[in-house]
Structure 1
Amino acid sequence: MQNREKHYIAEIIYKSITHTLSDSEEIILNEWLTDKEHFELYQRITNSDYIQSKLAIYQKIDANKIYHSLEKRLVESDKKERRLKIKKILRYAALVIILLGIGVIYNTGYFNSQPQLVFPNEKITLQLENGDVKVINEDGSSTVTNSKGEIVGSQTGTQLVYTDENNQDKLVYNTLTVPYGKRFEIQLSDGTVVNLNAGTSLKYPVKFIKGKQRTVFLKGEAFFNVAKDKTHPFIVNSDGLDVQVLGTQFNMSSYPEDVNSDVVLLEGSVYLTAVKDKGNSAILEPGFKGSINKFSQDKIEKKPVITSIYTAWIDGELVFRNITFKDMLKRMERHYNIEIVNNNSELKEEKFNASFRKEPIEKILEYFKITYGINYEIKDNKILIQ
């Protein structure tokens, strides 16, 4: 890439951070981000940990000393070289000003001046075949039994594993529910591993029965690593969309409040079918997302995506790409299990880009305040966007 192109991309990245991108620049940025290396670089640049580490360096700079040193070097240069150096200095100076400006808030004790948030510690629950509800203790272990008293599964920490070694001869279901603020992993009796995101429930057979399709029911978001079995298709039923696979890895998101049901495929292939119109179907290839409007049931739409954006939640990360403010706040509510009230209606449909790695919500809020000028306050254990 030529220097001119690098400077142009740098300028576009800066504009995306400061929310000043034009429509044409947004198209260019999205095309640039389709390259995996570019996407990883963008994540590092927009991550607040990265900004913090740079601040630690910039705060040690003796600004006057550097200025006089640069001034001396410029005087000694010829005019042409001087102009080039001035351009470079202006670029780096702008970056230093931006980063130091961000650092002011982080170092004035702003977080300490806000009321402390208290996050509800709701429990993960397992509804058994007879309707009884069992609380899952993430710090402990337990066993799951069927109506005959046979052990069908065991739980250790944040993982629940079902066994195929029992005499179950008919389909009976358990339902695992993960509240806001938590994630959980389950291994089904066929070896399929499912990671459940916050605010998600999965209904599944205690044991899959030979000769019958492997069908589970999802509300929320989950990542499926499906065990291969050519004779028994695996089907995920959600609100508006059925996903059929033989063995593959994909992410599915279909929260009750979402307009769309989305499937992002990492490997293998999946067959998508509209629940209300079986003729509305599509085959998805790796690296693509399939979406359907749950209400209108319009034609299933397919488009190429950067899959890591849609699976970052598994590692506790929040990645926002071209997402509306209202949808971003909803994801934050689920992730942290905290109520956020948006009193700024003008922001609802504005779109944002940012990446956060396991950071407290106060830092994320402050990032948006500094970068986009979005004010907030904490009151009655709620976050109020002003």
Structure 2
Amino acid sequence: MSMEKKDIKKVLDKVSAGTATPQEEQAAKYWLHYFSKDDIPELSEDELNQETEAIYKSLMKEKVPVKVNRLWYPAVAAACLLMVVGAGLFYYRQHNPEVKQVTAANIVPNDVAPAKNTATLTLADGKKITLADAPIGLIAEQRNVSIFKTADGKLIYKSKPLKASETTFLDNPELNIISTAKGQQYQVILPDGSKIWLNAASSFTFPATFVSLKQRKVELTGEAYFEVAKDKSHPFIVKTDKQEVEVLGTHFNVNSYSDEEAIKTTLLEGSVKVSNSNEQKILRPGQESLLAKSSLVIRNADTQEAVAWKNGDFIFNNEDFGSILRQVARWYNVEIIDNGNHENLHLSGTVSRSKNISAVLKALEITGKVKFMIDGNRVIVAK
């Protein structure tokens, strides 16, 4: 979602000039306090200083120094960005004045924090390592590979030279597994340089090293985003329970949760071959395949929506309500009980995955179609 710089400035000028409606000011206050984004349009430093000071004075009714801390800039620009483009999204509050503003006075009891950056690593010998507890630096060594944890919480595999006496190892590579529970996510960099982002409730099985292997074959359950290092002589193959995706070097996302109706493969760059037991098809950038009931269908994709989870957002584009609930349940590790009849309900909108679950639920409630109640580790759909 993007805007021209001139559009951002129009909204800044409108609010700072005092011509904004009370609803617009309330919406701006909400987004200024609760949301910040990294993908905002660029303004010059002087423009940011001037506009930030003006809008902050207008909204917060306080004196601020001429020099404003740069940490405010993304929040202010994001507030205006969301205020303009949010009219069509379900969470835009100024069209729903009956909805309460979120304040310290109505903090939700039993609120649930978002997913943590951790996973469980299972080595070839069966040893399990909880990555949140692992030290920074070298955490394990296997034949021909060293495994490191970085300061920013990634796992990196580095191959070592293969010894002549270990040629039999080539036909029987040691397999490692990284698995995330609900409420967890993680990233791993394979020995060939390929980068893998693992979503919640997912499992990724791969050779500890690709040295002298003819194929770079891995297995996935759940969801992962892949940035595969180019190597024309060694195809990279992602196997799920019902399909295989073969690539040489590209960026793509695979959603293969067992509780979803279809396996979805979305291509951002390069090309991939998707195949099942009956057929195979080639994907081009901007396309995705859906495998359901042994039928493989190709269609145009909303790539931003497909990888929103990896970029820190929920993006729903006319999304089935049941699918939304499953995504929320996996991310926050909660049980969601839907007692209503929402078979035909579809919603659209965007909300940050870095917020507590109450922020997501309130966004959904603004549609007027549903209500939620948090009961311990359960979320009950009351309407």
Is the shorter-chain TM-score for this pair beyond 0.5, marking a shared fold?
A: yes
Amino acid aligned to 1:285: R
- Take 1:178 and 1:110, find their aligned partners in 2: how far apart are those partners? 35
1:320 lines up with 2:320 in the alignment:
no
1:370 aligned partner, one-letter code: I
Larger relative helix fraction: 1
Q: Which of the residues 283, 292, 297 maps onto 2:294? A: 297
1:243 paired residue number: 245
Q: Is the 8 A contact 1:125 1:134 kept in 2?
A: yes
Which structure would you say has the larger Rg? 1
Q: 1:324–1:349: 8 Å Cα contact kept in structure 2?
A: yes
Structure 2 Cα separation of the partners of residues 101 and 127 of structure 1: 49
Q: Is the 8 A contact 2:178 2:203 kept in 1?
A: yes
Is the aligned partner of 1:260 residue 2:262?
Answer: yes
SS in 2 for 1:303: strand
Q: Tell me, yes or no, if the aligned pair for 1:117 and 1:381 is still in contact at 8 Å.
A: no
Cα contact 2:145–2:160 (8 A) shared by 1: no
Question: 1: CA distance between counterparts of 2:95 and 2:284?
Answer: 45
Matches of 1:239 and 1:173 in 2, distance apart?
Answer: 17
Q: What aligned pairs does 1:175-186 form with structure 2 within 5 A after superposition? A: 175-186=177-188
Please name the residue that 2:198 is paired with: 196
Match of 2:129 in 1: 134
- C-alpha distance in 2 between matches for 1:107 and 1:313: 24
User: CA, structure 1 residues 376+291, in 2 after alignment: closer, same or farther (shift >3 Å)?
Assistant: same
Distance 1:209 1:189 in 2: 9
Structure 1 pair 379/265, CA: closer, same or farther in 2 (3 Å)? Answer: same
Distance 1:131 1:231, change over 3 A: same
**CA positional deviation for 1:202:** 0.4
2:284 counterpart residue number:
285
The whole-number CA distance in structure 2 between the counterparts of 1:37 and 1:139 is: 42
Letter in 2 for 1:338: V
Alignment partner of 1:333 is 2:329: yes
Q: Could you say what secondary structure the match of 2:234 adopts?
A: coil
Aligned-partner Cα distance in 2 for 1:206–1:333: 31
Q: Which amino acid aligns with 2:329?
A: E
Cα distance change on mapping 1:104 and 1:385 into 2, 3 Å? closer
Aligned partner of 1:209 in structure 2 is 211
Shift in alpha-carbon separation, 1:208–1:343, aligned structure 2, 3 A: same
Which of residues 37, 44, 53 in structure 1 aligns to 2:28?
53
SS in 1 for 2:184: coil
Report SS of the residue matched to 2:308: helix
Structure 1: 5+ residue stretches without partners? 1-32, 42-48, 62-91
RMSD value, Cα? 3.2
Separation (CA, whole Å) in 2 of partners of 1:134 and 1:50: 49
1:220–1:255 CA contact under 8 A, matched in 2: yes
Residue in structure 2 matched with residue 350 of structure 1 by the alignment: 345
Q: Partner of 1:44 in structure 2?
A: none
Question: 1:51 and 1:253 mapped to 2: Cα distance?
Answer: 38
Work out the CA distance in 2 between the residues paired with 1:379 and 1:220. 27
Q: What's the offset of the Cα at 1:254?
A: 0.3
**Shift in Å at residue 164 of structure 1?**
2.1
- Structure 1: distance between partners of 2:142 and 2:103: 60
Q: 2:148 is matched with which residue?
A: 154
Q: CA deviation at 1:349?
A: 3.7
1:111–1:362 CA contact under 8 A, matched in 2: no
Q: How many residues align?
A: 299
Q: Which residue of 2 aligns with 1:99?
A: 94
Look up the SS of the partner of 1:131 in the other structure: coil
- Deviating beyond 4 angstroms after TM superposition, the runs of 4 or more aligned structure 1 residues are 54-57, 107-110, 118-123
Deviates more, 1:218-227 or 1:154-163: 154-163
- Distance (whole Å) between structure 2 residues aligned to residue 257 and residue 50 of structure 1: 42
Query: What is the aligned partner in structure 1 of residue 140 from structure 2?
Result: 145
For the Cα contact (< 8 Å) 2:274–2:283, is it kept in 1? yes
Partners of 2:369 and 2:284 in 1: how far apart? Answer: 40
Aligned-residue sequence identity (percent) comes to: 28
What TM-score do you get using the length of structure 1 for normalisation? 0.70
Aligned partner of 2:153: which letter? T
The answer on whether the counterparts of 1:203 and 1:218 sit within 8 Å (CA) in structure 2 is yes
User: Secondary structure at the residue paired with 1:291?
Assistant: strand
Distance in structure 1 (CA, Å) of the matches to 2:193 and 2:25: 38
3-state DSSP of counterpart to 1:371: coil
- 1:73 corresponds to: none
- Describe the SS at the equivalent of 2:307: helix
Determine whether 1:359 maps to 2:355: yes
State whether residues 214 and 234 of structure 1, in contact with CA within 8 Å, keep that contact through their aligned partners in structure 2. Answer: yes
Q: Shift of the alpha carbon at 1:203?
A: 0.2
